[in-house]
Chains A and B, each alone.
Chain A
Amino acid sequence: MIDRTEFQPQAYKSTHGIKPLNIAPVADRFLATAFDFVIFTPVVGLMLAPLFRRLELISMSSPQSTEFTVLAALAVFYICILSCLLQTLFLVWKKATPGQLFFKLRVVSVDHPEKHLSLTQSLLRSVLWTFEFFLLLLPFLEVFSDQQRRPLHDRAAGTMVITLKKDAEIAPHQFEAELVRKVMALSFMLLFFWGLTGVSHFYRMAMRGEFKRSELIANNYLCEEVSRSLDEEDAQNDGLRIDKAVGLYLASEVSDDCVLSEADFALWSSSDEGADWAYFAKGLIKKYDRELAASYFEQACQSNDQGAACELAKIHQGLLGAGENENVDPSDFSEQVKETETAQVLSAVYDFEQARYAEAEKRFVSLKETKGYTHFAQKGLIKSLWAQNKKEKAEGAFLGSLLQENSSEQRDVMAWLCLEQLDDQCSPKSKQACESLKEQYVGNLHQVENPLVAVALIKEKDCRKSTDMEIARFHELFKEYPDVLTWTKAVTEESNLSSTERLDLLRELSFRKTPVRPQVVRTQALQTLAEKSLRKSDIELVMKSLDSRKIKDLAWDKVFNKMKNRNLPTVEEDRQPASLKQDPSGEQ
């Protein structure tokens, strides 16, 4: 056993031998420090109140801004400076901080314990004391290992903390001192490695250029796609911006969110310009909530009852009550409406749906020249060329579009073209479009997310009896689009249903009141039904639904043709759609 008295002179003799210096108890020192914090915090808080007030506000509103970082750093800096100054002041004046005064502790110079501390000594001690906080308080642990219980700041400044009470502290045991030193060394090592990894992480981030956040934040107020589609001067004009945004939205070139942010910008800025368009845009987006949409359309006219947006809003409001297949008739548009891009998009769509393919082609060609509508116009052009039986031209345009970037829009066109070809000829003969569509999916495990693509692939499988696509691939899609599943059951051989069951499923899809998602399933079902059903009631229903349609686009034409091919007596000449009269060679 080690005799403890050997290590610890209870009272340390100063070099001058005047007074014994009693080592201060660690618990007292700890409490004194806590006490100092309680006393100094409000004082420092009072001095830095404006800074803290600002900091709190910024931390709520934009905690990621540079302003916050700068303010926080300033606050830390000022707190350090102030606490250093306050400590120095008290040490020079009273040889103790307020907490130490209260617990009867004094900081004395080891060489001259009876004298006051010098300013240099006090300043050095408090600066080091503050700095030790940035080293995670580890140097404070020395109070458990040093024989005189003098941590770094005490030894550097040549000071020592003594107590005026009688119960003085003893020096630490050798083992204790050794243990604390080992723990400190280990902690510093860990701290060092942690710092090293941190620094190298930031270094790598900086080299990869990931500190670009400020640029990203600056850009999210307005929709970027719209800005890109406009010339620089026009981009500043609110009225033009929102018209462009609505046009692009109707051409499904931009998302809902994009148009919403544009509309909000127009509405909440001080100028009235574009408010009518903004309301119209919001009404379009909220069209599934009829009441809300109606009130938006009304508002569009209230803010400007002469404008083009008001006219468009009125037309759309009239359509709100009608079914899914209604569409805007652009022939009633006034001159000022016809000038807008929105009207051009609507007209192109309308012409195509009314089977005026030659006019639609012209419109799509002119839209292709307009900035921003590339995908929409390309798709429309291919479709209208195809519909006019200019199949080679259409395939050429399609191949041309393949040269551009690969996108979901493109897969849409591929699927459409594939379906058209299969509708033409449903037999095991190879076709270009279906092949390029299949290339995207066969041989890899891409999920099929587009319902039109799924319908095309399933139809291809059914027609050409190909085996390279598994029905299981569409499993996820069936969950989201149950109508596609129903249709698949009705047409593929794998479902093992009887022909009556199949026809029942097709009937449900064809004549259901509620909308079928996607719509192509309904036209496909009608086509099959028109071909295969022997029931008279079915034929009558198909005729009825053909009659009730205002839009007679390509898909409906085909239903009509299939009906015609059966030479049923119910078919009358005057029910023929316009396109067939113009182009009798048609698709028969």
Chain B
Amino acid sequence: MIVPWLKGFVDFSKSPMTWALIAFNLMIFLVLSDADSIRSNREIIRSNELTLTGKLYYQYKKKLPEKPLLTSSEWMLLGAEALRNKDFLSQFESLQFVGDQVEIGLWRDKIKVYLEQNNQRSSQIYGLQNRESSWRTFVTYQFMHASWMHLIGNMMMLVIFGTVLEMSLGGAFLIFVYLLGGCFAAESFLWMSKSSAAPMIGASGSLSAVMACYAAFEIKKRVSFFYMISPVKNYYGWIYLPTVLIFPLCFLPDLVGWVSTPEELGSGVAYTAHIGGAFFGALLGYSLKYLRHRPGFRIFLKQVSKY
């Protein structure tokens, strides 16, 4: 068992901005949490419907083969991909399909209901979707979370790295990195992840920027972790990991996750956003580290950290 040791972080007076950010995120989550109120129409995700969706999507993507040879689970996979494909969903009503026309008619109605219900969800309104959606979503998505686990995981990282960054560079700078890093993450998500119908939400892109910025800026600082193998002397204690380890420990797995996820399946984690945010943060942190010894910059830094 290895957990980050939070001793010394939980100090509201030293890092007010971090805690304000956390409170804000929590508030937004509680206000907009619609997990129970609007359930999406599950009917379309049942195996029969998904198989049918897959068959139709197959026709949309390619020419029909002589005989349908795919097994039903392969059809279902295709169906799942179809439900994430924006183009397909936007023109399914006008498309002509070969097949059981009665069943297809019923399917069209179900998809319509599904899409309507989906559009009412708050993640659809405030989450980041595509270039056509409003610029506001670039900001709003950074404060939305899907579940308690999602929120707690992200906020834990914010406590660890937000506080240290705020203590060394100031609250205003933290907000700056958080927001701009989030926008950068969003941009890289739109650029690198093709065909995703699920809107992106969560502070993880912004947090990647914060973490990378701190790691690049204070490359030799250490973060303490508590470990316990068994409650015997010498088998538990603290280890101090250098911040630079964040890159191989956090961002390399993101890269791996991105390249090893099948495009047909998609994944629940926006790896590309993490990578983009981290890239921005590292660049910023490293340039700050380079500039910090210039006298003019030191005065500027002092001015900034007052806020």
Contacts and interface: CB of A to CB of B under 8 A. Distances in A.
Check if A and B associate. Answer: yes
A61 B77 contact: yes
Given A53-B260, A167-B234, 19 more contacts: A27-B234, A31-B227, A38-B249, A42-B255, A46-B252, A49-B259, A53-B262, A54-B262, A56-B260, A56-B261, A61-B71, A61-B74, A264-B100, A268-B68, A269-B67, A270-B66, A270-B98, A279-B100, A299-B102
A203 B216 CA distance: 59
B95 interface: no
A42 B250 CA distance: 9
Nearest to A272: B98
Interface in B243-273: 248-249, 252-253, 255-256, 259-262, 264-265
Given A27-B229, A60-B77, A269-B68, A42 B248 contact: yes
Nearest to B233: A27
B2 interface: yes
A42 B65 contact: no
B199 interface: no
A89 interface: no
Given A42-B253, A270-B98, A295-B102, A60 B265 contact: yes
A86 to B, nearest CB: 13
Closest 10 CB pairs of A and B: A45-B256, A42-B252, A52-B260, A49-B260, A49-B259, A57-B262, A270-B64, A61-B74, A267-B100, A42-B253
B269 to A, nearest CB: 14
Contacts of A27: 229, 234-235, 237
Interface string B97-135: 011111001000000000000000000000000000000
B102 A292 contact: yes
Nearest to B74: A61
A279 B260 CA distance: 43
Interface string A259-280: 0000011011111000000110
B100 A282 contact: yes
B239 interface: yes
Contact of A296 (B102, B229, B249): B102
A41 interface: yes
A25 B229 contact: no
A43 B98 contact: no
A66 interface: no
Nearest to B55: A268
A278 B100 CA distance: 9
A588 interface: no
Interface residues on A, range: 35 or more
19 contacts: A30-B229, A31-B239, A38-B249, A42-B252, A43-B252, A49-B259, A56-B262, A60-B73, A60-B77, A61-B73, A265-B68, A267-B99, A267-B100, A270-B65, A279-B100, A282-B100, A282-B102, A295-B105, A299-B101
B256 A42 contact: yes
Contacts of A61: 71, 73-74, 76-77
Interface of A: 25-27, 30-31, 34, 38-39, 41-43, 45-46, 48-50, 52-54, 56-57, 60-62, 167, 264-265, 267-271, 278-279, 282, 292, 295-296, 299, 302
A45 B258 CA distance: 11
B73 A62 contact: yes
Contacts of B2: 34
Interface string B265-287: 10000000000000000000000
Contacts of B64: 269-270
A56 B74 contact: no
A62 B260 CA distance: 18
A45 B259 CA distance: 9
Contacts of B74: 61-62
A295 B101 CA distance: 9
Contacts of A52: 260
A543 B162 CA distance: 92
Contacts of B260: 45, 48-50, 52-53, 56
A313 to B, nearest CB: 13
Contacts of B101: 299, 302
Contacts of B99: 267-268
Interface of B: 2, 55, 64-68, 71, 73-74, 76-77, 98-102, 105, 227, 229, 234-235, 237, 239, 248-249, 252-253, 255-256, 259-262, 264-265
Query: Which secondary structure dominates chain B's binding surface?
Result: mixed
Contacts of B71: 61-62
Contacts of B252: 42-43, 46
Contacts of A41: 253
B255 A57 contact: no
B58 to A, nearest CB: 10
Nearest to A103: B239
A30 B73 CA distance: 42
Contacts of A268: 55, 68, 98-100
A302 B100 CA distance: 12
B60 to A, nearest CB: 14
A57 B78 CA distance: 11
A34 B228 CA distance: 12
A30 B237 CA distance: 13
B68 A53 contact: no
A50 B91 CA distance: 32
Contacts of A49: 256, 259-260
A149 to B, nearest CB: 13
Contacts of B55: 268
Contacts of B262: 53-54, 56-57
A267 B256 CA distance: 42
Given A27-B234, A53-B261, A292-B102, A269 B256 contact: no
A278 B259 CA distance: 44
Contacts of A46: 252, 255-256, 259
Contacts of A265: 68
B225 to A, nearest CB: 10
Nearest to B242: A102
Nearest to A296: B102
Contacts of B100: 264, 267-268, 278-279, 282
A71 B249 CA distance: 27
A50 B261 CA distance: 9
A53 B262 CA distance: 5
A52 B227 CA distance: 31
Given A49-B259, A53-B262, A39 B67 contact: no
Nearest to B253: A42
A296 B103 CA distance: 9
Contacts of A299: 101-102
A38 B248 CA distance: 9
Contacts of A26: 235
A225 B54 CA distance: 28
